[in-house]
C-alpha cells in the first residue's frame, strides 16, 4: 500500500484528509503537534500517528526516519493570529511564518528523498483564499499563504524531473475545529450568504480535492493552486 504523510492530521482538514486518503488505499502517517490527536486519527484510519512539530526541523527528520516510504505528502498544518499590521507582535508574526512557511520546507526536505525513492509522488500544500483575496486584520497569515503558493511553484520546478508533482489548495470558508467559532449562531448564515454557492465548506470538501491531487487522475497537474471555496475568490457574489 502507498503511504501518505499528513501534517496537522489531529483535527480539522488534516483529519478529514487522513480519513479520505485511507479510503483511497493509502497507509496514512498522521503527524501533529498534539501527539494524542495524531494517535486518535491514526487509530481511526488504520494508520500510524506521530507527535511532530513541523517548525522543528530535527523533529521532522526524526519522524521521517521512522516512516519507511512516502508516496504523498500533505503539508496541512497551519496557524493564524489575526491582528492588524501595526499591532503585530514579533512572537505571533514569527510563529505564523515558522509553521505555515518553514514547516513546509522542513517537511519537504525530510520526505522528498522518500518520494524520489518511490519513483515520484505528490506534494499538496495548504494555502488559503486569503492569499488571493486580501482582507485587513489578518496579520501575517495572508503573506504566509502567498509564500506557500510561491514555494509550491518552486517545488514543481525543482522536483518535476523526479516525477514529483507539487500543487496547492486554497480553501475558502471551511468549518473546521479551528474555525468553528466563526460560524456560531447567525455568523454562519451570514458568511454563507457571501459565497456564490451559498454555503460554507466542510473539511471533506477540501479532503476530496487533496485526494484528486494525490491520485493518478491528476498525473499531469503540477505547479497549480486550486481554490476550493464555492466560488468565493471569483469575485463578489451576485445578490
Ligand X SMILES: NC(=O)c1ccc[n+]([C@@H]2O[C@H](COP(=O)([O-])OP(=O)(O)OC[C@H]3O[C@@H](n4cnc5c(N)ncnc54)[C@H](O)[C@@H]3O)[C@@H](O)[C@H]2O)c1
**Catalytic amino acids?**
141
Instruction: Restricting to residues 108-137, name those near ligand X by CB under 6 A.
Output: 126, 128
107 part of the interface to ligand X, by CB under 6 A: no
Helix, strand and coil percent figures for the chain, each rounded to 5: 50, 15, 35
Pick the binder of ligand X from 49, 78, 139, 142 (CB under 6 A): 78
CA angle 160–218–192, rounded 5-degree value: 120
DSSP 51-64: E--TT-HHHHHHHH
Choose between 119 and 182: whose C-beta lies nearer to ligand X: 182
Choose between 1 and 36: whose C-beta lies nearer to ligand X: 36
Pick the binder of ligand X from 3, 76, 222, 233 (CB under 6 A): 76
Closest distance of CB 72 from ligand X, Å: 16
60 part of the interface to ligand X, by CB under 6 A: no
Burial readout 205-239 (b: 16 or more C-beta within 10 A, e: otherwise): bbbebbbbbbeeebeeebbbbbbbbbebbeeeeee
Helices 103-117 and 141-159 cross at an angle (nearest 10°) of 20
174 part of the interface to ligand X, by CB under 6 A: yes
- What are the residues binding ligand X (CB under 6 A)? 7-8, 10-14, 32-34, 37, 52-55, 76-79, 99, 103, 126, 128, 171, 173-174, 176-179
Amino acid at each position: 500500500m502507498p503511504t501518505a504523510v499528513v501534517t496537522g492530521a489531529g483535527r480539522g482538514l488534516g483529519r478529514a484528509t487522513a480519513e479520505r486518503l485511507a479510503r483511497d488505499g493509502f497507509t496514512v502517517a498522521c503527524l501533529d503537534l498534539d501527539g494524542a490527536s495524531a494517535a486518535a486519527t491514526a487509530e481511526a484510519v488504520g494508520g500510524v500517528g506521530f507527535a511532530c512539530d513541523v517548525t522543528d526541523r530535527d523533529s521532522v527528520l526524526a519522524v521521517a526516519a521512522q516512516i519507511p516510504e512516502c508516496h504523498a505528502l500533505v503539508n496541512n498544518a497551519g496557524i493564524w493570529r489575526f491582528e492588524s499590521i501595526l499591532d503585530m507582535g514579533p512572537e505571533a508574526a514569527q510563529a505564523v511564518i515558522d509553521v505555515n512557511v518553514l514547516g513546509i520546507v522542513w517537511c519537504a526536505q525530510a520526505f522528498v528523498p522518500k518520494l524520489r525513492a518511490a519513483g515520484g509522488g505528490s506534494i499538496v500544500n495548504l494555502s488559503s483564499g486569503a492569499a488571493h483575496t486580501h482582507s485587513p486584520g489578518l496579520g501575517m497569515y495572508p503573506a504566509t499563504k502567498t509564500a506557500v503558493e510561491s514555494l509550491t511553484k518552486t517545488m514543481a520546478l525543482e522536483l518535476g524531473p523526479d516525477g514529483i508533482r507539487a500543487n496547492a489548495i486554497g480553501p475558502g470558508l471551511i468549518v473546521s475545529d479551528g474555525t468553528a467559532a466563526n460560524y456560531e449562531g447567525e455568523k454562519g448564515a451570514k458568511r454563507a450568504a457571501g459565497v456564490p454557492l451559498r454555503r460554507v465548506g466542510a473539511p471533506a470538501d477540501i479532503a476530496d480535492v487533496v485526494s484528486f491531487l494525490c491520485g493518478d487522475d491528476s498525473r499531469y497537474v503540477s505547479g497549480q493552486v486550486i481554490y476550493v471555496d464555492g466560488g468565493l475568490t471569483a469575485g463578489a457574489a451576485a445578490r
